[in-house]
Amino acid sequence: MKYQFPDNFWWGSASSAPQTEGETLSFGKSATIWDQWFKEQPTRFHNGVGPADTSTFYQHWKQDIALLKELNHNTFRTSISWARLIPQGRGAVNQEAVAFYNQVIDELLAQGIKPFINLFHFDMPMVMQQQGGWENRDVVTAYAEFASVCFELFGDRVKHWFTFNEPVVPVEGGYLYDFHYPNVVDFRRAATVAYHTMIAHSLAVKAYHQRNDGGEIGIILNLTPSYPRSQNPADVKAANIADLMFNRSFLDPALRGEYPQELVALLKEHGQLPVCQDGDKALLAAGVVDLLGINYYQPRRIKCRDSLVNPDSPFMPEWFFEAYDMPGRQMNPYRGWEIYAQGIYDILTNLRENYDNPNCYISENGMGVENEQRFEENGQIQDDYRIDFVRDHLKWLHKGISEGSNCLGYHMWTFIDNWSWCNAYKNRYGFVSLNLETQQRTIKKSGEWYRATAAENGFNDRT
């Protein structure tokens, strides 16, 4: 069977400034929370590899963009570092950063690759975090100023903007589960961070729409379908609460301009609502996106709790549900994530049936594998497992499109092996292999497959 995708389908990949650029404290850039955390606790990072040791895009941007072209990308997403462009968080713009981002954008366009630019990828400038980060409304205002500077500097050429990548992750990691800086465990503060993030998003969307630059602006959400263990009402209720907290807490304001009343009532009941200001309701309504980016890696399996909550424990989402390890599930053992390709179809179906079928695209999907060098033959990584992973997800994506979903493209995470937060280079995700010692780039077998798929705008099923 031939899986043919619509004309002008976006074939590409995604990356971010903090994970690829390097030169993390050079060329005028100030420290981010990652630089500070690595300075304080280097043992929290795999093999002691910190944010300075990325895939050196700042130095090799032209070579890397040539590789994107070789892989037949017509689109590519990366981010602008707030700490590089405006090192003090507000005020003076770093002209070295302006020159760098201009040359990247111009080279992408010269190669026929549309730049998709994200404004925040977990990389809060430390000077802003010292003021409270997303807990402080002044930082929200500073972010909106940063976004407007980006629109002014680059909006003549960049026509696809995104306010945030996976905004739930700094909430989970930094304020609930202790896997991101500032390592707080406090649901009320987490709710404030989540709420202020969407206020910041709405300010940026409103500012962009007022410019009339002829482009579009959106947000990138990591959507994890919440599947109940069974149709028992207790399991269904538990899965619904997980969906409210981890998906709809960002999806509803981004697509509907308001929060689910069910979520508001739940948080109010437990005294966890953030403080709102006059005008916030209208501002959130103005933050409805033009385009939704969907990051999909794994589903969430949920069951009702089997035990009572310790009343003295911190209030957490898990007061209402537990994770369920479904027997027989397919796993990526290196990342510890379930592989469930149908989830991508279920997300699109939900958007079509319950959210007026917005324009969207798959902004990340990928498979991280540890110690990939063991699969090297004649100088190339033979990553057939990654080809199988992509092919299976594209089949379900194709089914969603064939049923009417407005999905406009597919981006893999990522085009080249890059630094991944506390995991560093433990798991490799790229279509291109990176030798950390020599910085040599080598296209993997999956890169060749993706290049052919993009050229053909589809693929033949091998079965």
At 389-410, the pLDDT tens digits run 999 999 999 999 999 999 999 9
Whether the pLDDT of residue 382 is over 80: the answer is yes
Report domain extents, the chain.
Answer: 2-460
Annotated active-site positions, please?
364
Whether the pLDDT of residue 112 is over 80: the answer is yes
Query: Do residues 4 and 402 make contact, with C-beta atoms less than 8 angstroms apart?
Result: no
Whether pTM exceeds 0.85: yes
Give the mean model confidence (pLDDT) for residues 112-131: 98
What pLDDT score was predicted for residue 335? 76
What pLDDT score was predicted for residue 14? 98
Per-residue pLDDT band at 336 (split at 50, 70, 90): confident
Query: Do residues 388 and 367 make contact, with C-beta atoms less than 8 angstroms apart?
Result: no
What pLDDT score was predicted for residue 54? 86
Per-residue pLDDT band at 55 (split at 50, 70, 90): confident
| Residue whose structure tokens are 């994970």 | 19
Whether the pLDDT of residue 463 is over 70: the answer is no
Please name every residue paired with 115 in a beta bridge, in sequence order, or none if there are none. 76
Whether the pLDDT of residue 383 is over 80: the answer is yes
Per-residue pLDDT band at 154 (split at 50, 70, 90): very high
What pLDDT score was predicted for residue 302? 98
pLDDT tens digit string along 259-296?
999 999 999 999 999 999 999 999 999 999 999 999 99
Whether the pLDDT of residue 134 is over 90: the answer is yes
| Residue whose structure tokens are 């929290």 | 44
What pLDDT score was predicted for residue 53? 86
Q: Are strands 300-303 and 160-165 parallel, antiparallel or unpaired?
A: unpaired
Whether the pLDDT of residue 462 is over 80: the answer is no
Dihedral angle of Cα 236, 240, 241, 245, to the nearest 10 degrees: 150
Average pLDDT for the chain: 96
What pLDDT score was predicted for residue 333? 83
| Other C-beta atoms lying within 10 Å of the C-beta of residue 95 | 10
| CA 153 – CA 131 distance, rounded (Å) | 26
What pLDDT score was predicted for residue 84? 98
Which of 453 and 1 is assigned the larger pLDDT? 453
| CA 136 – CA 129 distance, rounded (Å) | 9
Per-residue pLDDT band at 334 (split at 50, 70, 90): confident
Q: Does domain 2-460 have CATH number 3.20.20.80?
A: yes
